[in-house]
Amino acid sequence: MKRAVVIGGGIGGLATAGLLAKAGMQVTLLEGREKVGGRAYIWEKDGFKFDLGPSWYLMPDAFEQWFKLMGTSAENELKLVRLDPAYQARNEGKGDLLRIRASLDENKRLFDEIEPGAGARLQEYLDSAQDAYELSIKRFLYTNFRDARAFMSIEVLQRLVRFAKHLLTPLHTFVSSHVSDPRLQKILDFPAVFLGASPYKTPSMYHLMTHVDMNVGVFYPMGGFYTIIEAIERIAKANGVDVRTNSPVTKIEVDESGRATGVRVGEALFEADVVIGNADLHHIETQLLEPKHQTLPESWWAKREPGPSALLMYLGVRGELPDLDHHTLLYTDDWGKNFAKVFRKPGDKSKPEFPDPASLYISVISRTDPSSAPAGYENMFVLVPIAPDVRLGSGGIDRAGDPELEAAADRVIDQIADWCDIPDLKERIVVRRTMGPGNFANELNAWSGTALGMAHTLRQSAFFRPKNRSSKVSNLFYVGHNTIPGIGLPMCLIGAELVLKNLLDDRSVGPTKNEVRPLPDKAWKGLR
C-alpha cells in the first residue's frame, strides 16, 4: 500500500487526503494548528460562532462533485439553503440600495428600472457567462493541462475567437459594453474580488462567475461554513485518513534521486511514497525545500502579483440589523481609485494605505442562521479588501491588534453606521475581533500576507498558474489557492481531484464521472 503524507489541513488538503485514502493509499494529514480548516477556520466567543474565512457558497456543483467521488452527496452531508435576496448592494453615502434576488426575472426588471434595455443586455451577458462556465467545467477546470490535444475539440475551436477576446479584454471593459450605469457595472464587476483580482486587470473570461451568482444561486450551509470542513474531515477519517493536528511540518526530505522520502515535524520523520503540499505554496517552496529542489524560488515570486489581503472584522452586535441582508456590498463612487489602493504592481515597495472610504463586504449570517449568535444579537462579519502588505499590521481580540489597523477598523465601523443607517452601531458591539495581513502571514504562512492567494491576472490563470506537481521533486504534488485551478473553496476541491488525476496519469479534461474505488499499487502510474 502506497503511503501519502499531506501537509496542511485546509479544504484542499482534506479533500485530497480523502480521495487518496478512498483510492487505496495509507494517508496521514499533518496540520500545524489545533484544528483543520486553513482559511476556513472558526472562532467562538460568548455564544457567537464566527466563520473566520469564506462566507459565500458558490459553484455548488464543485462541492457535489467531490462528495460524489466519495460516495455521498452535498444533500446528505450539508443543510443548504438558497438565499433570497442573494445579496444587496449599497452605494456611497446613503445611495441606492439594490437587491439581487433569486429570481432572474426580478433582476432583469431591476436592471431595466435603472437603465432601460439593461435587462435584455443582462440576459445576453448571462448567456455568455453560462456558456463560458459550462465549457470551462467540461474542458479547462478539471485538467492538469498535460495534453494539448484535449483542447482541440470542436466546441472549443468554434469559440476560439470569442475566448481569445475574453482573455485579452479586462472584465470591466466587457461589463461596460453591456451596461453603462456605474451601479450596474459594479454588480457585474464585483465577482472579480472573489478571484483575488481587480476587474480592471482580470480577463473577462471570469464573467462566468456571474452565471454562478445569478443563474445557479447563492447558498448558505446552515451551521456555518465550518460544517463543510467538518463534513470533509469526517468523510476523510471514515476512509482511513490519519489526521494529526498541532503538527507543523518543518522540512520535506528529498533523496539524491530527487524523490521526497517523507516530511519532518521537528525531529519526527513521516515516511511517504508521495507528498501533497496544501500549505501556502510560497512557504513550501522557499521554506520546506532546499534551494536545489525549489521549482519556484524566491526570485520567481518577486515577479508575481498576490491577490488582495483583507481587514477582517468579527463583530457581535446587540439588537437587530434590519437594514442589512445576509450578504451586503458597499461600493465607493470612485471604484477605480479604490482598486488602485488594493492591487499594486509587482515590486512596488511603497507602504500602502487603508482605503477610506472603502468598498467592502458585510455578512450577517444570523439573519439566516440563528445558531450563530445568542438570542437578541447579530453575528456580523466585515471584509475590506486591502493591499497584501504585512506593514498594514495584525488584528486581535478586543482591540488588541496593531493601532493603525484598529483605527482603520474604527473608520470602517463608522462608515457602515453612516451608509447603512445604524447610528449606534459602535455602541452596540459586544464582541470584536480583527485580522489583517500580519495574521495571514504569521498564522497561515501566507505569501505577502494575502488573504486569497495569487491574483487571477492573465499571466497567472489557467496553464500560466503554478502546476499541481513539482518539476524538481518527482513525487511532490500541490493543491490549494496558488496552484491550478485557482482561488476559493470550489477551486481547491477541484485541485484535489487534479492531484488524483496526476497520480493516475489521467489526462482527461472533465470531472471524473464515477465514485472513486480502491486501486492496486500498479495503478499509480504518475509515481513511476
Q: DSSP labels for 482-512?
A: TSSS-SSHHHHHHHHHHHHHHHHT----S--
pLDDT category at 26 given cuts 50, 70, 90 is very high
pLDDT category at 201 given cuts 50, 70, 90 is confident
CB 480 within 8 A of CB 281: yes
User: End-to-end distance of the chain based on CA atoms, in angstroms?
Assistant: 15
CB 289 within 8 A of CB 297: no
pLDDT at 47: 98
Beta strands, E only, 222-300: 242-244, 251-254, 260-265, 268-271, 274-277
Mean pLDDT of the chain: 94
Query: What is the number of other CB atoms lying within 10 angstroms of the CB of residue 282?
Result: 23
DSSP state of 212: I
pLDDT, mean of residues 208-224: 95
Residues in the chain, total: 528
In angstroms and rounded to an integer, the radius of gyration of the C-alpha atoms of the chain is: 22
pLDDT, one tens digit per residue, over 376-389 is: 999 999 999 999 99
Lowest mean pLDDT among 92-96, 401-405, 416-420: 92-96
Would you kindly state where each structural domain of the chain is located, as residue ranges? 3-40+225-296+466-527, 125-210, 304-447
Beta strands, E only, 181-267: 219-221, 242-244, 251-254, 260-265
Superfamily of domain 3-40+225-296+466-527: FAD/NAD(P)-binding domain (3.50.50.60)
- pLDDT(120) > 80: yes
Helix or strand run (H / E) with residue 430? strand 429-435
Percentage above 70 pLDDT, the chain: 98
Residue 351: what residue type? K
Nearest-angstrom CA–CA distance, 228 and 63 = 9
Helix or strand run (H / E) with residue 362? strand 360-363
List beta partners, residue 361: 329, 383
pLDDT at 157: 65
CB 166 within 8 A of CB 132: yes
Torsion of CA 230, 233, 235, 237, to 10 degrees: -140
Helix or strand run (H / E) with residue 355? none
Three-class DSSP category at 192: helix
- pLDDT(5) > 90: yes
pLDDT at 95: 74
DSSP state of 163: H
Torsion of CA 53, 347, 483, 327, to 10 degrees: 30
More confident residue, 368 or 136: 368
Beta strands, E only, 92-183: 97-100
pLDDT at 111: 97
Q: Strand 242-244 vs strand 429-435: parallel, antiparallel, or unpaired?
A: unpaired
pLDDT, one tens digit per residue, over 155-197 is: 776 776 787 788 889 999 999 999 999 999 999 998 887 777 8
CB 369 within 8 A of CB 222: yes
Cα-Cα-Cα-Cα dihedral sign, residues 399, 402, 403, 409 = negative
pLDDT category at 361 given cuts 50, 70, 90 is very high
- pLDDT(202) > 90: no
pLDDT, one tens digit per residue, over 485-528 is: 999 999 999 999 999 999 999 999 899 999 999 999 999 999 97
Q: Which residues contact 443 (CB under 8 A, 6 or more apart)?
A: 33
Q: Which residues contact 334 (CB under 8 A, 6 or more apart)?
A: none
Cis peptide before 357 (omega within 30 of 0): yes
Residue 306: what residue type? P
CB 518 within 8 A of CB 24: yes
Look up cell 517523507; give the residue. Answer: 262
Nearest-angstrom CA–CA distance, 172 and 169 = 8
Nearest-angstrom CA–CA distance, 467 and 473 = 13
pLDDT, one tens digit per residue, over 386-403 is: 999 999 999 999 999 999
